[in-house]
Amino acid sequence: MKNKIIFALLIIFLVLINPVCAEDSKDETPGIPAEWSEESTGGTTNPPATTTPPQNTITYTTYDNTLQITEVRARVDGKEDVLKKSGEKISKEAKEESDVELKVEIKNVWGEIIDDIKVTAVIEDIDDGDNLDEDTDIGRLNVGASETAELDLELPLRVDDGSYDLKIKARGKDSNNDIHVTEWELTLEVKKDDHKVKITEVSVSPSHIRCGEGTDIKVEVLNLGRNEEDIEIEVINPYLGLELKEKGIELETGDDADAEYEKQFRIMPNDAKEGNYQIDVKAYYNKGKDVTSKKADLTIEGCMQVRQNSVVLKTLPPSPSETLGKIAAQTSGTTFVSAEREQTLFFSLTIIFIVMVGMMVFLMGVIVVKLSRR
């Protein structure tokens, strides 16, 4: 009886605690952590976003002027200027297509070796608003050592007058990956000629033709000076009878689209002979006081021409047999001519004799008639 009472109490206890277990099961699914949440829209269970463990980071320090630029030698179109400090102006003025050569002396004033040193030179906004830059590597510098970096910058064809910033920067690192940097800023002055025109292109297409065929000559001219220009173009070759002119061409200055002129000439050299010909193109500007020129080649082939061949006659001494043959022929010819002449003479004399006999007979007849009448 006692056991039955204990069993009944156990059943009642289990019934009472069952709702609590059911309530807890809503919040936790077996095998899924309680901190995961259930999406209300899809009803699928997604894990929480994981946190990426921190990565290994490299920290470094940047040191200014532990590398030093001690001197810059700037050569503009062959004229050199020595600059001793940042902020100076290069004394030689540049122009379009000027060659700017830089020799930059770099010194390591840090207490350690500096490696992977790169030197960069930049002229800002000079190429139609873009930078013009050049760089070079000088590698390693020991403590207190110096090295010269050489850089070469060629200015663009189309450039405006004015002052341009030229920045020179050296950058390297030491064994601790600390960065060492130094920088100079110089000024480059650009001043163009008052009057300057350049023929930028002369091309013949096709450059090889046959007689009777035509070809095109393309000419491009650019005003590089500070002033507007009225120009005249000539296309000349006297051997082809070529003399073409284009007048009244107006050119603007600077980056203006009208600072450039392009023209295509069509030619048809009908009476030309085979050979290579040079097409000479000239552009007159500054009111005709100045001229610039450029040439192109044209080859003409396949022409029909009469060629005269020279024949040299050489007299050889005759052989003995030929000599005897010629003598015999000459002797025979002479004998024949003599016999013919004798026959002709005999025939003529016979006729004369007959005529004379006839006349004598006639006269004798006349005399007989007269005597008989007496």
Residue 163 in 3-state DSSP?
strand
Domain ranges of the chain: 62-190, 197-301
The fold for domain 197-301 equals: Immunoglobulin-like (2.60.40)
Q: What is the pLDDT of residues 50-85, one digit of tens each?
A: 444 455 555 668 888 889 999 999 999 999 999 999
**pLDDT (mean) for 97-120:** 96
- The dihedral built from the CA positions of residue 296, 219, 288 and 257, taken in this order, carries a sign that is negative
Cis, bond preceding 206 (omega within 30 deg of 0):
yes
Residue 54 in 3-state DSSP?
coil
CB contact set of 63 (below 8 Å; sequence gap of 6+): 110, 178, 179, 180, 181
Q: What is the pLDDT of residues 219-276, one digit of tens each?
A: 999 999 999 999 999 999 999 999 999 999 999 988 788 999 999 999 998 888 999 9
pLDDT of residue 307: 43
pLDDT of residue 318: 53
Q: What is the pLDDT of residues 172-197, one digit of tens each?
A: 999 999 999 999 999 999 999 999 99
**pLDDT (mean) for 281-287:** 97
CATH topology match: 62-190 vs 197-301: no
Residue 196 to residue 194: CA distance in whole angstroms? 7
**pLDDT (mean) for 298-307:** 76
Q: Is the pLDDT of residue 331 over 90?
A: no
| Both tokens assigned to 260 | 């450039």
**What global pTM score does this model have?**
0.60
| Strand boundaries in 174-309, DSSP class E | 179-190, 197-205, 208-210, 215-223, 229-237, 242-251, 260-267, 275-285, 290-301
Comparing 25 with 17, the larger pLDDT belongs to: 17
For the domain spanning 62-190, the CATH number is 2.70.50.60
| Residue among 339, 341, 360, 337 nearest 349 (CA) | 341
pLDDT of residue 8: 60
Comparing 287 with 328, the larger pLDDT belongs to: 287
pLDDT of residue 274: 93
